[in-house]
Amino acid sequence: MDRILIKGGRPLHGEIPIRGAKNAALPLMTAGLLTDERLVLSNVPLLADLHTMGELLAQHGVAMEPGDGGRTLSIGGRITNTLAPYDIVRKMRASILVLGPLLARCREAKVSLPGGCAIGARPVDLHLKGLEQMGAEIRLEGGYVHAAVPQGLRGADIVFPFVSVGATENLLMAATLAQGRSVLANAAREPEITDLADCLVAMGARIEGIGTDQLVVEGVASLHGAAHPIVPDRIETGTYACAAGIAGGAVTLLGARLDHMAALAVALAEAGVEVSETAGGLLVRRLNGLHGTDMKTEPYPGFPTDMQAQFMSLMSVAEGAAMITETIFENRFMHAPELNRMGARINVHGSSAIVRGVRALQGAPVMATDLRASVSLVLAGLAAQGETIVNRVYHLDRGYESVERKLGACGAEIERI
Ligand code: EPZ
């Protein structure tokens, strides 16, 4: 099994291209189920999770053809099967996003329940409740969601009790082909949702309120093909910004957008890492020392939970203390004990962690059980004295395209072994 070996202590200088966002690409791919015509996505990241989604689309009879060395994906075909089997869904929770499109197109679907994951229980009750409000009959049996809507979905007023990215995406896609008008209130407004909504509009959907927490959708009879570039990955951007912060130096993130990472940029500035816009993207520089900075994760436009682990690595070598509070997932501090094995001083109390900065981390063999925790250990390795070996690299490959090549090109001593 692959591992990443890092010899720490080298500052980063150079350019890193930022690709399309994984968490935009996955729902966009399922939007391909909403039409028989071709949906062509560009700025596609080369990631294991997209491959898994391709497998699932193929299972439904919809083919995915890569072009331009994998940088474009052309999705199209008639849905021949409405079963999303356990063997694929267990590999990737985002598989649940086929449920709304399948119901809208085929009036029935059988989708495996995703089950829990390392960072939390992650139920899908909001997805199911919303579809029930749109007229679907839903039964849970044998680990599967059995959903049917013989008369077709109808528009509904849905008020989310709390913000959910996935539930907003599933119901938004379902609503585009429902009869009548739907209102999604307290909807998530992450840039990935806006990207999905823009793509749906390009496919002929009628959506108002894009970018706000209230989406109003007038259902249409059918959608057509479209071409859509995937929004740059704000989490990949933030991760490499933290890399420049922890290792020192100055890195240009090509194609990155500052407006999608405003809360993170404020926290980085307070911590001593400057992010500024350039012609081709963003320039990130560590100014002098790093300072302990408190932060709390929140739905967009707040500080993203997907950047919490990376920011914790940064804080582990800052001067002073930082209080980090996780409000989205109940178990997203698994990186803390691993960072402590590298000499960090982190105490977790419920949903908060106190990080007392240390002068230096020491390299160690480490591993993590999810994507962002894994990359936070790579960042820690960049700053650590000696060798760090990050195990279970398959987590990294799900969401980061050639992390070792991108960091290596900026002067990090890092290799895949
Ligand atoms: C998306 O997950 C992302 N995944 C996650 O990225 C991200 O961490 C998360 O949004 C929050 O920003 C994709 O986009 C593919 P949620 P999602 O529904 O949609 C609870 C990464 O590292 N909830 O917004 O599953 C849930 O348990 C990943 O790239 C319910 O209780 O997140 C969580 O506590 C990991 N019932 C909270 O809501 C529901 O029906 C927010 O989850 C749905 C969610």
HEC string of 308-348?
HHHHHHHHCCCECEEEEECCCCCCCCCHHHHHHHCCCEEEE
332 lines ligand 1 (CB under 6 A): no
CA of 120 to the centre of ligand 1 (A): 9
191 lines ligand 1 (CB under 6 A): no
* Statement: the pTM of the whole predicted model exceeds 0.95: yes
CA of 166 to the centre of ligand 1 (A): 6
CA of 164 to the centre of ligand 1 (A): 6
Supply the pLDDT for residue 115.
72
Mean pLDDT across 211-218: 98
pLDDT digits (tens, 9 = 90+) for 120-153: 888 999 999 999 999 999 999 999 999 999 999 9
Q: Which of 23, 138, 168 to mutate to test the pocket of ligand 1 (most atoms within 8 A of CB)?
A: 23
Mean pLDDT across 319-334: 97
For residue 83, pLDDT beyond 80: yes
Supply the pLDDT for residue 41.
98
Burial of 33 (0-12, 13-18, 19+ CB in 10 A): buried
Q: Read off the pLDDT band of 118 (50, 70, 90).
A: confident
What helix, strand, coil percent values describe the chain, rounded to 5? 35, 30, 35
For residue 337, pLDDT beyond 80: yes
Q: How many CA atoms lie within 13 A of 281 on its CB side?
A: 22
Supply the pLDDT for residue 290.
98
Burial of 347 (0-12, 13-18, 19+ CB in 10 A): exposed
- Active-site residue 199, yes or no? no
Identify the weakest region by mean pLDDT among 114-123, 230-239, 356-365, 400-409.
114-123
23 lines ligand 1 (CB under 6 A): yes
Mean pLDDT across 53-79: 97
| Bridge partners of residue 297, in order along the sequence | 303
Question: ω before 301 within 30° of 0 (cis)?
Answer: yes
- The span from the CA of 89 to the CA of 111, in Å, is 8
Sign of CA dihedral 96, 230, 380, 275: negative
Supply the pLDDT for residue 410.
98
Mean pLDDT across 381-390: 98
Mean pLDDT across 318-328: 98
Residue 93 Cα to chain centre, angstroms: 11
The closest of 63, 106, 60, 56 to 86, measured between CA atoms, is 56
For residue 417, pLDDT beyond 90: yes
Ligand 1 atom with the smallest distance to the CA of 371 is 22
- The span from the CA of 174 to the CA of 200, in Å, is 11
Measured torsion, CA atoms of residues 298, 303, 306, 309, in degrees rounded to the nearest 10: -110
Supply the pLDDT for residue 191.
98
**% of the chain with per-residue pLDDT over 90:** 96
Please give the mean pLDDT across all residues of the chain. Answer: 97
